């Protein structure tokens, strides 16, 4: 029997990888709803190809273009924030949550509140609203399946094990394209250089996060919510080959690692087929061709993002949401050519250390208010410094 899937963020890299797997297994899936931010033509084309029941464009100015592109198709068209949440709440066996940034928070919560199984590719959901969201998951009987390669690797390594048997979790990081650069070189790095990831094909924002190591800091916070063990037992290790995606060490001294190619279709397939497995187009892993696997401690002097993230995670409350918001604004400024690469972490630190953090969020609206205030502060500090 086929299963129904909703894909939030269908035109992004995770959405495209998900649809590639669905395309290869058409008899197993029925596409219920697809959403996108502003690519109306691409969204309409995908909705037609997969016979989606609903297509939602977040940017309301693109709604006329979406309706025109879907004319005569039988696909329902909608636009705006509320429509995104309505799409996420529709009945579905699996909701792929791949909207980047805090724009994905409300749709993810809408799916959780309906008790859906959510394949979570949106880091910001658990970074900014971790306690709020995990409480909602428990309250509504929803299920979160981690899509990030690192968290999916941990999820796989925990199959058959228990958290109380875990000694530590290790998140691996490629180190990004600027891993060996000097401080002077980092200061002069261009957006094109920062997004040229050696292993993964990702969007610009995520690629910059990889270069700064903020992605690993955000993943540390996310891991703490997905796999609730003490923060001091969640480690980060630089592994340039990106073959081992994460590791779990058990109290008996055994360490389980999940290995695989640097392709998001592998963790996505894990979520689509869970609790079983499915075929993917990936060739077998050739370790002889890889040759060697190397590991390094993070250099937090040149790349302070992981230390800042741990600091925010230990502080708890509003701090992780502030960290995430400030980073998004700083990355946006860097990609626009307004600040140097090295200013990204400095800007985030200045917002985190400004003091007067708001109270811990209790609802999603609280999270969004904290996010908005932190963004405003980050923009102000970038203008005056």
Q: What is the pLDDT of residues 162-197, one digit of tens each?
A: 899 999 999 999 999 999 999 999 999 999 999 998
pLDDT classification of 103: cutoffs 50, 70, 90? confident
From CA 312, how far away is CA 306, in angstroms rounded? 10
Percentage of the chain lying above the pLDDT 90 cut: 90
Of the candidates 167, 58, 163, 148, the residue with the CA atom closest to the CA atom of residue 102: 58
pLDDT classification of 25: cutoffs 50, 70, 90? very high
Asked if residue 129 has pLDDT above 60, the reply is yes
**What number is the average pLDDT over the span 211-239?**
95
Question: How far does CA 282 lie from the centroid of its chain?
Answer: 22
Average pLDDT of the chain to the nearest whole number? 94
Percentage of the chain lying above the pLDDT 70 cut: 99
**What number is the average pLDDT over the span 274-290?**
94
Give the residue with greater pLDDT, 212 vs 122: 212
pLDDT classification of 216: cutoffs 50, 70, 90? very high
pLDDT by residue (tens digit) across 314-369? 999 999 999 999 999 999 999 999 999 999 999 999 999 987 788 999 999 999 99
- Domain ranges (residues) in the chain: 3-146, 149-300
Q: Which pTM value belongs to this model?
A: 0.92
Name the CATH topology of 3-146.
Answer: Rossmann fold (3.40.50)
Asked if residue 283 has pLDDT above 60, the reply is yes
Asked if residue 66 has pLDDT above 60, the reply is yes
173-192 burial, b at 16+ Cβ within 10 Å, e below that, comes to: bbbbbbbebeeeebeebebe
* 3-class SS of residue 376: helix
Residue found under tokens 């058990």: 250
Asked if residue 384 has pLDDT above 70, the reply is no
**What number is the average pLDDT over the span 47-72?**
98
Task: Give a three-class secondary structure readout of 206-226.
Answer: HHHHHHHCHHHHHHHHHHHHH
pLDDT of residue 206: 86
């Amino acid at each position: 029997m086929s299963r129904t899937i909703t894909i939030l963020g269908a035109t992004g890299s995770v959405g495209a990888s998900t649809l590639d797997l669905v395309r290869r297994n058409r008899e197993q899936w029925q596409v219920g709803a697809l959403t996108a931010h502003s690519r109306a033509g691409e969204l309409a084309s995908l909705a037609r190809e997969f016979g989606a029941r609903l297509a939602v464009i977040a940017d309301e100015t693109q709604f006329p273009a979406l309706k025109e592109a879907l004319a005569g198709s039988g696909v329902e068209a909608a636009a705006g924030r509320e429509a995104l949440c309505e799409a996420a709440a529709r009945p579905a066996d699996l909701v792929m949550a791949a909207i980047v940034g805090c724009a994905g928070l409300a749709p993810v919560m809408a799916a959780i509140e309906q008790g859906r199984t959510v394949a979570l590719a949106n880091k910001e959901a658990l970074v900014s609203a971790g306690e709020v969201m995990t409480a909602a998951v428990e309250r509504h009987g929803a299920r979160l399946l981690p899509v990030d390669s690192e968290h999916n690797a941990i999820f796989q390594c925990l199959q058959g094990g228990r958290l109380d048997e875990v000694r530590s979790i290790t998140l691996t990081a490629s180190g990004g394209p600027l891993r060996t650069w000097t401080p002077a070189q980092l200061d002069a790095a261009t957006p094109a250089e920062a997004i040229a990831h050696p292993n993964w094909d990702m969007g610009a924002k995520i690629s910059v996060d990889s270069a700064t190591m903020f992605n690993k800091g955000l993943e540390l916070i996310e891991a703490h919510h997905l796999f609730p063990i003490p923060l001091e037992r969640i480690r980060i290790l630089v592994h340039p080959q990106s073959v081992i995606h994460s590791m779990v060490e058990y109290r008996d001294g055994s360490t389980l690692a999940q290995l695989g190619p640097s392709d998001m279709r592998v963790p996505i397939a894990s979520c689509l087929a869970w609790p079983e497995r499915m075929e993917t187009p990936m060739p077998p892993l050739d370790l002889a061709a890889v040759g060697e696997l190397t590991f390094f401690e993070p250099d937090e002097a040149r790349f302070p993002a992981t230390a800042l993230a741990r600091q925010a995670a230990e502080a708890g409350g509003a701090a992780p949401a502030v960290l995430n918001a400030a980073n998004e604004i700083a990355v946006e400024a860097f990609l626009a050519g307004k600040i140097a690469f090295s200013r990204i972490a400095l800007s985030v630190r200045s917002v985190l250390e400004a003091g007067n953090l708001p109270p811990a969020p209790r609802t999603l609206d609280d999270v969004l208010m904290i996010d908005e205030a932190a963004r405003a502060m980050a923009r102000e500090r970038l203008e005056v410094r």
